[in-house]
Amino acid sequence: MNRRQAIKSTALIGGGFLFLPPLLRGQTSRLPHSSDAILGATEKRLLQSVVATMIPATDTPGAKELQVDQFVLLMVNDCHDAKDQAAFYSGLRDMDAFVVQHFGQPFLSCDATTRVEAIKSMGGSPDASAEIRAFIQITKRRTIQGYLQSKYVMTNVLPHEMIPQPYDGYYPASKLGGKA
């Protein structure tokens, strides 16, 4: 190796080490700063209740146990534009007043069937404001996405099979249930 190539290689490696730390850090979310500043404890509990109503716990953990509400907030803050974010947060704040007006009690004190009816009526009612409908639409979409992409669902409910069903070319046609 001649001297010019050695100097060039050393300069490239040194430059690579200079730019490597910012690349390894990656992109950080704005969630800890913006959601804490915008949402209070009541709004966070309200969002948890909405998410838990959409996907309740059964023999598998529900959306609340898998902390899908944090995923919803993360996606709203990082992936939606300012108009959608404003509609989401405004709809979250106005939702409780809508439920009190139509069902006579706050969303957090309603039973499970009343919560389901409240979410259905908010999503399709002409009485609901555009912000409330946007909140319900965004929350449904992101709740389903977050639940299906959670670690628990991906490993226990929908495990990945490298080869879904092995091919058996000698499988008898009589076992298929059709007429031979």
Three-state SS across 4-63?
HHHHHHHHHHHHHHHHHHHHHHCCCCCHHHHHHHHCCHHHHHHHHHHHHHHCCCCCCCCC
Burial class of residue 56, CB neighbours in 10 A (0-12, 13-18, 19+): middle
Res 64 pLDDT > 50: yes
Range with the lowest mean pLDDT among 25-39, 43-57, 134-148?
A: 25-39
What is the distance, to the nearest Å, from the Cα of residue 15 to the centroid of all Cα atoms in its chain? 38
pLDDT tops 70 at residue 22: no
What's the pTM value of the predicted model, to 2 decimals?
Answer: 0.70
pLDDT at 175: 81
Distance CA 32, CA 164 (A): 40
For 137, half-sphere exposure in the C-beta direction (CA atoms, 13 angstrom radius) is 13
Residue 37: which pLDDT band, with cuts at 50, 70 and 90?
A: low
Q: What percent of the chain has pLDDT over 90?
A: 50
Token couple for 47: 């969002």
Which one-letter DSSP state was computed for residue 81?
-
Give the residue, 74 or 164, on which the prediction is more confident: 74
* 160: Cβ contacts below 8 Å, ≥ 6 apart: 154
Instruction: Read off the pLDDT of residues 95-116 as tens digits, 9 standing for 90 and up.
Output: 989 999 999 999 999 999 999 9
Looking at residue 65, what is its pLDDT? Answer: 94
Q: Is pLDDT larger for residue 84 or for residue 158?
A: 84
Is the pLDDT score of 164 beyond 90? no
Listed residue (62, 64, 48) closest to 108, CA to CA: 48
pLDDT of residue 25: 66
Query: Six-digit token pair at 17?
Result: 């080490």
Residue with tokens 């969002």: 47
